Amino acid sequence: MNITCRPYTPTITVRYTRRHTIPNQKRMENLNQNQNQKKKEQMGWKIVELRGDAFSRGVQHGTVLSSELAMLKRVFPHLVRKVYKVSFKKYVEKCTETLPLTQFAARWPEWAAELEGMVVGARTAGVHLTAEFLLYWNMYLSMDPFYDTKRSNHRCCAFIACGEATETGEIVIAHNTHSTFEEATISNIISYVYPDVGHAFVMQTMPGLIASSMDWFVTSAGMVGCETTIGNFTEKPDFSKTPYFCRIRACMQYGRSLNDYVGIMTQSNAGDYACSWLFGDIHTNEIAMLELGKNTWSVERTHSGAYVSANWANDERLRFTETTLTNVDASYARNTRLSELVFSRFWGKIHANNAKRILADHDSSMEEGADNKKPGGYSICRHMETERDSMPGHTPYDLYGSIDGKVATSEMARKMEFWARWGSSCGRIFHSKTHVKKHPEYRHRIGLVHDFSGKPWTKIEPKNEKLNENYSTKLFKHYTIL
């Protein structure tokens, strides 16, 4: 089924209530029992659990991730200066003009309360920041069209498959993230969230965010999802409507079905951060691809098949009206290679291990006369640090590329588990000091860059499997989404 540019009615409407906004003394006292929560470190990943109402979750986030928030205070301004080519002060002024905190808090009090909680939690650990700083960090990807970045914003590769495409017939979903190596220093957080209202969910995220940003998640409602950015997007967002990070967070916490997800994402769409969203419902064994721009969107759904996404817009109307994508872009090459692997080589044989192999693929057939199996800027497992040629937004041997890999099956999603590999799906080893000796033009960046040590794949799983299985059922006895 393909639907383009038409209303899509969700089965729920999320109502943001003010009960989340004011922490009383009793709630503050109850937070003390959560202060001792620790993050678990596992093969390069940092795993945390957040529970309770919005403010409480925020306090726990700020406390347990205080050192990561301290790093964010260094990384975020650096990214603004490097990518957007403006001072951090100018960026903050633009964000304040576009979506001030007072307006954000009035419209989305639950998420504002979570940000305020992060500030309080971080302060208890000696890290001082503001809710405005965190809001404008959440807006970072949304602000891209306001700046002449000269970059293509190609950030991920992903696919989702079910039915005849997979070995068992059930859903398999896979995703890797492409980013600057500075962003990678704070991108290795796995957050299990158990809200007082809504579904539990697990997501890959960064400190200070209310959503994923990578995006990768599994929910206790049986929903799985990820996205890849639609590259070369040209439309400026309209923040009189709802920004993407609020919409996808509402999906994770409140969505029960593919209809809910498509409805929440398309209604009141601010048009910020255009993406190809891949969603799956493990209860119905149905998958969907939602390509969402600002004024144009399309959705495809199936119980048997696959969808691939590599920063390319498959919908021609979206591609021609809201992007400058062409078939010479790296996204076209990666999308073509991903399609070859999913729809041909591994068709009917897709399972977790083959999904890992697909994410680690280094074919770069767009480079004529080159060693096509050598990792580079055109491969699914992207390695700009080895790419000798300039590409849009990148200089040769840039500190940019694949930084992870994640794979989930329906069987794993039922337990809110997934496979993850930190550093890259291929297990690359990267030493920043060695790289800078060969390419001294990047010396000024290595203070914010960590090495990659070739970590193995590891299973991410919750502490309390039984709680995850029963979480939604328990909550739905006590509330109704209005």
Residue 285 lies in a domain: yes
Q: Which of 186, 178, 188, 187 is nearest to 383 (CA)?
A: 178
| pLDDT at residue 373 greater than cutoff 90 | no
Q: pLDDT of 17-53, one tens digit each? A: 444 444 555 455 555 555 557 899 999 999 999 999 9
* 426 — pLDDT class (breaks 50, 70, 90): very high
Write down the pLDDT at residue 317: 93
Residue 162 lies in a domain: yes
Tally Cβ neighbours within 10 Å of residue 183.
24
Residue 127 lies in a domain: no
Residue 135 lies in a domain: no
| pLDDT at residue 313 greater than cutoff 50 | yes
* 184 — pLDDT class (breaks 50, 70, 90): very high
| pLDDT at residue 112 greater than cutoff 70 | yes
CATH number for the domain that contains residue 239: 3.60.60.20
Contact 247, 277 (CB under 8 A): no
Q: pLDDT of 159-175, one tens digit each? A: 999 999 999 999 999 99
Mean pLDDT of 145-162: 80
Paired residues of 302 in beta bridges: 287
Residue 377 lies in a domain: yes
Q: pLDDT of 385-422, one tens digit each? A: 999 888 878 899 999 999 999 999 999 999 999 999 99
> 326 or 161: which carries more pLDDT confidence?
161
Question: In total, how many domains does the chain have?
Answer: 1
| pLDDT at residue 299 greater than cutoff 80 | yes
Residue 59 lies in a domain: no
Write down the pLDDT at residue 232: 87
Inter-residue long-range contacts of 323-327, CB under 8 Å, 24+ positions, other chains counted:
323/230, 323/231, 323/232, 323/233, 323/234, 323/274, 323/293, 324/232, 324/234, 325/230, 325/231, 325/232
Q: pLDDT of 101-110, one tens digit each? A: 999 999 999 9
* Backbone dihedral angles phi then psi of residue 17, each to the nearest 5 degrees: -105, 155
Write down the pLDDT at residue 383: 94
Residue 270 lies in a domain: yes
Q: Which of 84, 255, 251 is nearest to 92 (CA)?
A: 84
Full residue range of the structural domain in which residue 393 is found:
152-476
Please give the Cα distance from 393 to 228 (Å, whole number).
17
Write down the pLDDT at residue 40: 95
Write down the pLDDT at residue 459: 98
Contact 185, 75 (CB under 8 A): yes
Residue written as token pair 């650096």: 78
Residue 134 lies in a domain: no
| pLDDT at residue 16 greater than cutoff 50 | no
| pLDDT at residue 294 greater than cutoff 50 | yes
Q: Omega before 215 cis (within 30°)?
A: yes
Model pTM? 0.91
